[in-house]
Structure 1
Amino acid sequence: MSGMKDNKKLIMYLAKNDFKTRFAGSYFGVIWGFIQPLVTILLYWFVFQLALKAGPVANTDIPFVLWLMAGLVPWFFFSEAVINGTNCFMEYNYLVKKVMFEIKILPLVKVLSSLYVHVFFVGVLIIAYAVAGYFPGIIVIQVIYYSASMVALSLAISYLTASVAVFFKDTTQIVGIFMQIGVWMTPIMWVFSDMIARVSNHSEMLGKVVSVILKLNPMFYIVQGYRDTMIDGVWFVQRPGMTLYFWAFVAVMLLISRKVYGKLKPHFSDVL
């Protein structure tokens, strides 16, 4: 038991230290971790609502900026967690070479480090909805479930990408490209139902195919979940099919990651 407690303390210490050192040397320090996502939200709000004059989202009276925030907040965490997790073994190579150090905690350290900013922005999200008169009520606690789901997904992916990145350095760049594509493939800045309706106008079969393909993206479940919580009042148990698929995806990814990590781990110190 004491070993488990020591591990938890070490993980939390490393996560906190990682978050701080990421901005070490800059004048504003960790404040940059909160400013950058905030500026991104304001930029998208300016482009879509002011420049392109996007009104309230169809079938709701929710202001576009609130609808947008509910999609961007989880994506910020997922993108940062996976990208940073991919680099963890290379960044902490001096720890990887230590025989007695349990390097399997490093991806978890990176994911938890990203959680600091996420918790802050979840708070901002809830306050923004409350101030605007759209507080969702008790269902807001469901954000905890979807945040935990994202942690599990990020870890499942990070163990795989971090293990491969030790031997194939271009993995970091590839993951970055996937994140750039993913933000547009996930219904964050566009309405899923509107997209499918437009495609179905040309071909009903094509609309069904596109719908299935887009839903295969596990972040579709998370973004939909945040909007279910903040806007639509839908509990995750009311989406059993999507919930089952998401956790099956996470479980399969964890099995693959564990196998790859187990095979490559003995050679980490030789490459690093």
Structure 2
Amino acid sequence: MVLPHRLSPMVSAFTALWKQRASLKTLILGDFTQNYLASYLGFAWAVLGPLVMIGVMTAVFQFGFRAGTTGSAGIPFPLWLACGMVPWQYMAEGFVTGAGAITAYRFLVRKAVFRMGYLPAIRLLAGSIIHGILLIFLVVLLFCYGASPSWHWLQVVYYFCCMFLLLLGAAWCSAAVSVFIPDIVSVISIGVNLGFWLTPIFWNLSMLPENWQIVMQLNPAHYIVQGYRDSLVEHRWLWDRPLLAHVVFFIWLFAALFIGAQIFKKLRPHFADVL
């Protein structure tokens, strides 16, 4: 099948990732070791940081503001919050570390045989190890609250893949631009902090007027966060969500992948000159 010319960069990038999966695995483990195991507290803080945040926010909202349950009726606040914090932690870290992927591996830029498109994926896949550990914690928390295994839990795989691809498209774009404008990483960090407050992670979307609820659902992070909650605590199948929610997210997804691949392809020949 002949692909449209503008789609070829995106498709060729995924094809290259698959063909070089053995080398990719080595680089992923190396990135994980460097970022999380090179110091005594690196790995511990990567795991404990989100857990401490969940604990603090639970204390503030459940005991300070007396918010016993939220989200769907009967869901304990700590469990509801954790289901939002775990995917958000991966997204927040992915946006920031993905943006610095090229500059962090500048020693590989001059190697002609190495495809630069790997680097954002390496960063994201290394971070997925921490995400997996936090998911294990989340499952333990579910059992502590008396939950039983459900087929709905398998939907987490779908939502993770959606989240990963969205981050990959964004990382292709931001990593390429950050080579020429390093301050973009700081701008993204600020945007991530703002996104935390604008995404229904610790607050319920139903608190807003109906018109504002529609606006907030345009946020692609909401699709992922709500998807994790649907899968783990609200037991709702993905096809039971409004069709518009899927359409809006996949517009974001394909736009991120397409624009990211195009920008990366355009700027890639100049990486070695700048770095």
* TM-score, with structure 1 as normaliser: 0.90
In the TM superposition, residue 16 of structure 1 has moved relative to its aligned partner by 1.3
Equivalences for residues 10-21 of structure 1 within 5 A: 10-21=23-34
Aligned counterpart, 2:70: 57
Equivalences for residues 33-72 of structure 1 within 5 A: 33-57=46-70, 59-72=72-85
Aligned counterpart, 2:4: none
> What residue identity is the alignment partner of 1:224?
Q
Which residue, out of 240, 255, 271, partners 1:268? 271
Contact kept? 1:82, 1:158, Cα under 8 Å: yes
Quick one: structure 1 residues 59 and 149, their matched pair in 2 at CA, closer, same or farther if it must change by over 3 Å?
Answer: closer
Q: Unaligned stretches of 5+ in structure 1?
A: 197-206
Contact kept? 2:169, 2:257, Cα under 8 Å: yes
Which residue, out of 135, 150, 164, partners 1:122? 135
Contact kept? 1:136, 1:231, Cα under 8 Å: no
Q: 1:231-262, CA deviations, whole angstroms, 9 ceiling, x for partnerless residues? A: 22111112232112212211111111111111
CA–CA distance in structure 1, aligned partners of residues 141 and 38 of structure 2? 32
Aligned counterpart, 1:83: 96
Aligned counterpart, 2:180: 167
Identity %: 32
Q: 1:146-167, CA deviations, whole angstroms, 9 ceiling, x for partnerless residues? A: 1111111110111111111111
> What residue identity is the alignment partner of 1:266?
P
Aligned counterpart, 2:189: 176
Q: 1:99-121, CA deviations, whole angstroms, 9 ceiling, x for partnerless residues? A: 22111100000010110011111
Equivalences for residues 1-272 of structure 1 within 5 A: 7-57=20-70, 59-135=72-148, 137-196=150-209, 207-208=210-211, 210-239=212-241, 240-272=243-275
- After superposing the two structures, state which structure 1 stretch, 96-105 or 20-29, moved more: 20-29
> What residue identity is the alignment partner of 1:31?
A
In the TM superposition, residue 53 of structure 1 has moved relative to its aligned partner by 2.3
CA–CA distance in structure 1, aligned partners of residues 140 and 20 of structure 2? 34
Q: 1:186-239, CA deviations, whole angstroms, 9 ceiling, x for partnerless residues? A: 00010001223xxxxxxxxxx41x223211110110111111112221111122
> What residue identity is the alignment partner of 2:198?
M
Q: 1:46-104, CA deviations, whole angstroms, 9 ceiling, x for partnerless residues? A: 22222222211154111110010010000000111121110000000110121221111
The 3-state SS of whatever aligns with 1:30 is helix
CA–CA distance in structure 1, aligned partners of residues 225 and 272 of structure 2? 38
> What residue identity is the alignment partner of 1:183?
F
> What residue identity is the alignment partner of 1:103?
M
- After superposing the two structures, state which structure 1 stretch, 79-88 or 45-54, moved more: 45-54
CA–CA distance in structure 2, aligned partners of residues 129 and 246 of structure 1? 27
Contact kept? 1:136, 1:233, Cα under 8 Å: no
The number of aligned residues is 259
Superposed structure 1 runs of 4+ greater than 3 Å apart: 3-6
Q: Unaligned stretches of 5+ in structure 2?
A: 1-15
